[in-house]
Amino acid sequence: MAGALGIILENGKMLLIRRGTEPYEGYWCPPGGVQEEGETLEETVEREVNEETGMEVQVLGKLGRVRGPITGKFHTLFLCSARGGSPQPSPPETTDARWISYEELPGLPIPPFIREFLEGLELRKLEGSVSG
């Protein structure tokens, strides 16, 4: 099955989770997960963000896809807007969930295939499309 990740931006920050399980245990990632049978990828990202962070989001649009190097499966990244809740981790899958400033991103351990994708995004411009 395919996977979906949510890019949630607000006030110069991105919502990220710290993975509590392999692969990439201890790394920071956008919240998301694997599609369940009968679910659209948009439904997947909304459900997974809520399960991993307690946040409610709405999908605004598709940003692109990345191939996970371990499973070889594609993950679709969606731009989402926060609709409610406050970030809370959901152990053991996530050990932390919080808003991280764009300036902090380069210093965080982020899986290389996700980092490469994020570096190609203009986060402040994307955030403007969410709020305006």
Tens of pLDDT, residue by residue over 41-72, are: 999 999 999 999 999 999 999 999 999 887 78
* Model pLDDT, residue 81: 96
Q: Please, what is the Cα angle at 118 between 115 and 120, to 5 degrees? A: 115
Tell me which residue range forms the domain holding 76. Answer: 3-131
Tokens of 116: 């490469």
110 and 29 Cβ atoms separated by less than 8 Å: yes
* Model pLDDT, residue 132: 57
What is the CATH classification number for the domain harbouring 118? Answer: 3.90.79.10
Strands (E), the chain: 3-10, 13-19, 28-29, 32-34, 56-67, 74-84, 94-101
Tens of pLDDT, residue by residue over 16-46, are: 999 999 989 999 999 999 999 999 999 999 9
* Model pLDDT, residue 72: 85
DSSP 119: H
Token look-up 């764009």 returns 102
Looking at residue 97, its amino acid is A
Report the alpha-carbon distance of residue 122 to residue 119 in Å, rounded. Answer: 8
DSSP 70: T
Q: What pTM was computed for the model?
A: 0.94
Tens of pLDDT, residue by residue over 88-126, are: 999 999 999 999 999 999 999 999 999 999 999 999 999
Report the alpha-carbon distance of residue 48 to residue 35 in Å, rounded. Answer: 9
Q: Report the domain count for the chain.
A: 1
Q: In 10 A of CB 20, how many CB atoms? A: 16
